[in-house]
Amino acid sequence: MKLVILDRDGTLNPLGDDYITSADEWTAVPGALEAVARLNHAGWHVVVATNQPGLGRGLFDVMALNAIHTKMHRQVAAVGGRIDAVFYCPHAADEDCSCRKPSPGLLEQIRDRYGVERQDVQVVGSCAVHLHAGAALGAQLHLVCTGQSAPLQPGSDLPAGLPPGTQVHASLGDFVDQLLPVVLASATPVPGQASVSAPTPTTGTVIV
């Protein structure tokens, strides 16, 4: 199985001045949902892992969060894609939990559910805490220059505070552009040689 774990805020939807508390406030980053669809069409499963401390702070309830994610699912379906599930941490920053990123608990739940080897999971997001959770998982790490990372440019030095080995991409679409040709090339047999399956290049509460 091929698995990508995405952050939500800043990666799939723009960051606002405060928490997104209703479906009306949720909009997609241009091109992000189309990138999810392209991953799906190439055989990748896409799961979202997101910290939602607004729940723990009482700024919105689970019904409102479900409505936000229902809108997200409908919009990605409208462009031919699918997000398999959303795993979220509902705890505030001062609560003692193992699922709030940068702790890896949320990502561990996803990996265990889908049964993918740690090194085969692609973790993609626009903020350091998501990538540090991915590093603790042992996944492959990808920063997209949207959300908190919008001022960054691919090819520049990796900013301090990001895990070593993080690859930088202009957008989620750019990540897909670079991932899929690698996958296709690795699966192409060399003429005159036996065909060997190549390994996949080096992923709370669930809402399906």
Choosing from 7, 24, 84, 120, the catalytic residue is 7
**Contact yes or no for 186/197 (Cβ under 8 A):** no
Choosing from 9, 94, 174, 177, the catalytic residue is 9
Buried b (16+ CB within 10 A) or exposed e, 178-205: ebbeeeeeeeeeeeeeeeeeeebeebbb
> Helix 105-114 crosses helix 128-137 at what angle (to 10 degrees)?
50
> Helix 32-41 crosses helix 172-186 at what angle (to 10 degrees)?
10
Q: Is 9 a catalytic residue?
A: yes
CB atoms within 10 A of CB 166: 18
Q: Is 61 a catalytic residue?
A: no
Catalytic machinery residues = 7, 9
